[in-house]
Amino acid sequence: MFAAATAAILVALSLAITRAIRGPTVFDRVLAGNSVGTLAIMLLAVTGFLTGRPEFLDIGLTYGLLNLISTLAVLKFFRHGDLAYAADDEQRS
Amino acid sequence: MLLTLLAVVTMAIVRQRSLFGVAILAGIYSFVMASVLIVLDAVDVAMTEASVGAGVSTVLLLATLHLINSTETRPIRRNLLALFFSVGTGAILVWGTLILPPFGTPDAAIHKHVAPRYIADSVKETGIPNVVTSILADYRGYDTLGETTVIFTAGIGVLLLLHRARRRGRAVDEAEDRG
């Protein structure tokens, strides 16, 4: 059961990486990176249950936060061309 | 399987011309690497890899991309000597792994030297319930002190450089205001 889930996650991981490499636009790559992070969390959880130690689920929470941070940074960079746009605007005005 | 994906992502990073795509692919690489480390049962290292590789370095790479151009303009030159040296170094490293004991062997040399004493006596000698913490903070205390000194020195250096750059920028601004 868990082995089948692991295999399915690995297939999904390879599909997401294919999209990240071939993706014609930036948003394809951002979305693929986000889903790779999510799949890493799922792989962590399923591997924990597969080896009989589900204590690693807490680390999945940390991964989720990191995934959010990097996706937010990428999108903010793409929207404003800068990571600290607010401070710059305040200084200029 | 995961290692194959790692190799594929690495090739993609090398061949990718848009540095923005490289930043995202590097984040993906870190998550795949963290999964490999989890499969190898090194969860703490995997967590460090994910936080530093996927979280912090993506942000740092993007902040650097803001300062420079986001496309790599230099054409690819094929350097056969570099290829020869990297393949040779890799072959030597693979040859070195041949004499290592198999993965997870309990009677390997690394598990015979000081590890039994750490496991048996660390609570009695240091009073710390966590064996890993007792090794890092007590048995290898000087080692950890050295590492902390290196990181502290690097932090001081970065702070000094940033402070000087900011003061110079302010001086230029004041000169422009007067002129």
Please indicate, yes or no, if residue B172 is contained in any of the structural domains: no
The predicted structure's pLDDT at residue B73: 59
- Where do the H-state alpha helices sit in chain A? 2-22, 26-50, 57-80, 85-92
Distance CA A7, CA A53 (A): 19
**Chain A CA closest to residue B15:** A21
Residues of B in contact with A39 (CB under 8 A): 31
Inter-chain CB proximity B2 and A10 less than 8 Å = yes
Please indicate, yes or no, if residue B61 is contained in any of the structural domains: yes
**CB proximity B13 to A under 8 Å:** no
Inter-chain CB proximity A73 and B59 less than 8 Å = yes
Choice between A92 and B64, residue whose per-residue pLDDT is larger: B64
Please indicate, yes or no, if residue B53 is contained in any of the structural domains: yes
Name which of A33, A39, A43 is nearest B27 (Cβ-Cβ): A33
Which residues does B124 contact at the CB level (< 8 Å), separation at least 6?
Answer: none
Supply φ then ψ for residue A87, to 5 degrees.
-65, -40
Contact between B50 and A40 under an 8 Å Cβ cutoff? The reply is yes
How many domains does one find in chain B?
1
* pLDDT tens, position by position, B20-75: 777 778 888 888 888 888 777 777 788 888 888 777 887 788 777 777 765 655 65
- Model confidence at A88, pLDDT cuts 50, 70, 90, reads very low
Distance CA A31, CA A39 (A): 12
Name which of A39, A62, A83 is nearest B62 (Cβ-Cβ): A83
Name which of A10, A32, A70 is nearest B59 (Cβ-Cβ): A70
Share of chain A above pLDDT 90, in %: 0
Please indicate, yes or no, if residue A93 is contained in any of the structural domains: no
Please indicate, yes or no, if residue B55 is contained in any of the structural domains: yes
Amino acid at B87: V
Please indicate, yes or no, if residue B12 is contained in any of the structural domains: yes
Question: Residue A26, SS3?
Answer: helix
Amino acid at A14: S
Distance CA B77, CA B27 (A): 26
- Where do the H-state alpha helices sit in B104-140? 115-126, 131-134
Please indicate, yes or no, if residue A92 is contained in any of the structural domains: no
How many domains does one find in chain A?
1
The domain of A68 spans 2-85
Distance CA A63, CA B38 (A): 13
The predicted structure's pLDDT at residue A82: 58
B9: nearest Cα among B41, B54, B62, B44: B54
User: Phi-psi category of A72—alpha, beta or left, where left has phi over 0 and alpha has psi -120 to 50?
Assistant: alpha
Establish, for the pair of chains A and B, how many residue pairs have beta carbons separated by less than 8 Å.
95
The domain of B7 spans 1-71
- Model confidence at A52, pLDDT cuts 50, 70, 90, reads confident
Inter-chain CB proximity A77 and B21 less than 8 Å = no
Q: Which residue's structure tokens are 């049962």? A: B41
Please indicate, yes or no, if residue B98 is contained in any of the structural domains: no
* pLDDT tens, position by position, A54-65: 777 887 888 888
